[in-house]
A and B are shown apart, each in its own frame.
Chain A
Amino acid sequence: MNKLPINELPELARQLRRDVIKMLMISKSGHSGGPLGLADIFASLYFHLMKIDPTKPTMEERDFFFLSAGHLAPIWYATLARRGYLPISELTTLRKINGRLQGHPAPAKTHGLPGIEIASGALGQGLSIGVGCALGLRLDKKPNHVYVLCGDGELNEGQIWEAMMTAGHHKVDNLICIVDRNFCQIDNRTEKVMELEPLADKWKAFNWHVLECNGNDIEQFINTVNQAKELRGKPKVILAQTFMGKGVSFMEDDYKWHGVPPSEEQGKQALGEIAPTKYGDFVEFEWEKVLVA
């Protein structure tokens, strides 16, 4: 599938949410909350904002995307599949042996999934990679943008703050870091586990341009990224407020959905709440066929 106009992205994002639920129902393992909360951001980046070509995943002119919080993989895989990096039928293989859709993203070089530049999973490492990549591109005066997506809980990791300093010091202004600010991490709300606020002030103090937006509002997110692209002189961070589990009533804003998949019953209920789209699901379960009949 190609680039889409903004008004078609919400339906695509809804399909990505259905994909995530079905992938997790099949794998019976994986993270629900974060991936659902990020469907709008992934739809915006991969179907509207980034300069990419799924038929040439390593073309020189590509924008780079690094998923620092590797556990969010299900939404990335669904997005890559819908964009044409892999067959959508392959989404049935999440976390299965001999597959390419590893529990946490594996490098294309070893596992063969195009569009994934480097492994992630152990938290806190992606921002440094983005900083180096952006510096390398700048050295060659290339216009590519570098995007890094971090979780907010992930900001607990010390390496993130090292990378924040490095990026600020070197004024890496071809870099946009998106923080998935959903206020949830494994143990509890982020502010209970390890207080992050005043988060915007912290980034500012590290010499970053700071932008904030509703990460579940596609138009607002796209406008914010476009605004960030124009800013010069400092690296850019977008604190994107999202709801963990967005789209599924019983998961929304509940940290307990960080790392668990829905049961079959819960999955059915979730799919009932996320209306089917014109794109169609990558798999139809037996019980769905019965319903139609």
Chain B
Amino acid sequence: MSKYSSSENKATRQGFGEMLVELGKENPNVVVLGVDVTPSVKTDLFQKAFPDRFFSVGISEQDMIGVAAGFYLAGKIPFTAAYGEFAAGRPFDQIRQTLAYSEIPVKICASHCGITVGQDGATHESLEDIALMRSLPHMVVASPCDYHQARKMIRASVALHNPIYIRMFRDNTPVFTKADDEFQFGKADTLIDGNDVTIIACGLQVWEAILAEEILAAEGISVRLINMHTIKPLDKEALVKAASETGAIVTAEDHQIQGGLGSAVAEILAQTIPTPQEFVAVNDTFGESGLGYELMKKYGIDSGSIVKATRKVLERKRRRDGFK
């Protein structure tokens, strides 16, 4: 029996769209920009509630970043919304110069991220966005694990002085955190405590990790599960503590193996406490059309893949420790 259960399925993008309306009511300076995907990314809710503060820029993601920066300079709190590939990849240079270098705190809200966008195929499966965004100085990069966390993340983003990339998803997915759980950027959530191995996941992989833990627990393996919702700045303290206390790490993400959460974790561990680590991620390949769960399985990022990776890293840990 898992330590977490889901009462319902709801999309992270839904939480985003609803929270924008709440913020819009509370603060007249909140403005939202759209690039012709308004119902898909759920900003239609804000558009209906505050038509004067919603601005369409047409299908022009590069322009949107600049327009958002301009709104900030005029005293506004701008949110942009687009699909992941077009939120991070298409306007990378604009985000680099106009937001990151200039430290303009625009909130880039990306929906439809990762391979689970599914049937649209590889062109729409943003599997490189974490790598792109976290390579930029001054950027905050975060990904909510469910609907409630998406809501909290959007609310907390208002106070940030840095630009932020928030990585969300299309599908209705299990809601397993609670509306009143605490949330703070840069402070990881340890969902399950354990001693043998730590699974560090972000976004939709957190639920997959919960499912994996159930299987591993039945085998007598004590898993620590961390929801690393903020990939940059990463919670170094929680990571180093987990590595020193459990001695084996599995990272899980719906992203390329290069440059994502796993890389961020490895960069810190290599410099602090080198630890055997297995990467559950898309292995240097593009995706394809299919259903989300089919693709997760085929590309090796479902709960079963996390289970296999965990067994493997435990084997490496035992070898390193000389089968103590």
Cross-chain contact A132 with B69 (CB below 8 angstroms): yes
Q: Is B82 an interface residue (CB 8 A)?
A: no
Chain B stretch 166-207: residues in CB contact (< 8 A) with chain A: none
- The stretch of B99-107, B114-122, B220-228 that contacts the partner chain: B99-107
Asked if A136 contacts B58 (CB within 8 A), the reply is no
- Does chain B have a CB within 8 A of A166? yes
Which of the residues B78, B93, B97 comes within 8 Å of A132, measured between beta carbons?
B78
A144-179 interface code vs B (CB 8 A; 1 in, 0 out) = 000000000000001100110110011000000000
Quick one: given A135-B55, A136-B31, A166-B57, are A129 and B66 in contact (CB under 8 Å)? yes
**Given the known A-B contacts A121-B97, A163-B63, are A135 and B70 also in contact in the complex, defined by CB atoms under 8 Å?**
yes
CB distance from A274 to the nearest CB of B (A): 33
**Interface members, chain B 47-78 (any A CB < 8 Å):** 52-53, 55-58, 60, 62-76, 78
The answer on a CB contact under 8 Å between B69 and A118 is: yes
Contact, CB under 8 Å: B67 / A118? no
Contact partners of A135 in chain B: CB under 8 A: 55, 67, 70-71, 74
Cβ-based interface call for B98 (8 A)? yes
With the chains together, A287 CA to B107 CA distance in Å?
Answer: 54
| In the complex, A139 has a CB within 8 A of chain B | yes
The answer to whether B102 touches A133, judged by C-beta atoms less than 8 angstroms apart, is no
Does A98 touch B at the CB level, under 8 Å? no
B98 touching A133, Cβ below 8 Å: no
Q: Name the residue among A129, A159, A163, A166 with the largest chain B CB count within 10 angstroms.
A: A129
Does B94 interact with chain A (Cβ within 8 Å)? yes
Is the CB of A137 closer than 8 A to any CB of chain B?
Answer: yes
Cβ B67 vs Cβ A119 within 8 A: no
A194 at the interface (CB under 8 A from B): no
Residue in B56, B97, B104 whose Cβ sees the most chain A Cβ within 10 Å: B97
Specify which chain A residues have a CB less than 8 angstroms from the CB of B71 in the assembled complex.
132-133, 135-136
A140 cross-chain contacts in B, Cβ below 8 A: 74-75
Say which size band chain B's interface belongs to: 20 to 34
Is B58's CB under 8 angstroms from A118's CB? no
- Bound form: Cα–Cα A133–B98 in Å: 13
Of the listed residues B31, B75, B102, the one surrounded by the most CB atoms of chain A closer than 10 A to its CB is B102
Inter-chain contacts of A137 with B (CB < 8 A): 74
Among residues of A, the one whose C-beta sits closest to the C-beta of B60 is A162
Contacts known (A139-B31, A140-B74, A166-B58); A159 close to B67, Cβ less than 8 A: no
For residue A107, give the distance in angstroms from its CB to the closest CB of chain B.
4
Asked whether A133 and B74 contact (CB < 8 A) given A118-B69, A119-B102, A125-B94, the answer is yes
Contact of A133 among B60, B70, B101, B103 (CB under 8 A): B70
| A132–B55 alpha-carbon span in the complex (Å) | 10
Q: Determine if A128 and B62 form an interchain contact, defined as CB atoms under 8 angstroms apart.
A: yes
CA distance A132 to B62 in the complex (A): 13
Cα A129 to Cα B78 with chains together (Å): 12
Contact B97–A125 (Cβ < 8 Å):
yes
A117 and B53 CA atoms in complex are apart in Å by 23
Of B56, B65, B75, which is within 8 A of A128 by CB?
B65
Which of B60, B65, B74: most chain A CB closer than 10 A? Answer: B74
Binding site for A on B (CB under 8 A): 31, 52-53, 55-58, 60, 62-76, 78, 93-94, 96-98, 101-104
* Interface CB pairs A-B, < 8 A, 8: A64-B74, A107-B103, A109-B102, A109-B103, A128-B62, A128-B98, A136-B72, A163-B66
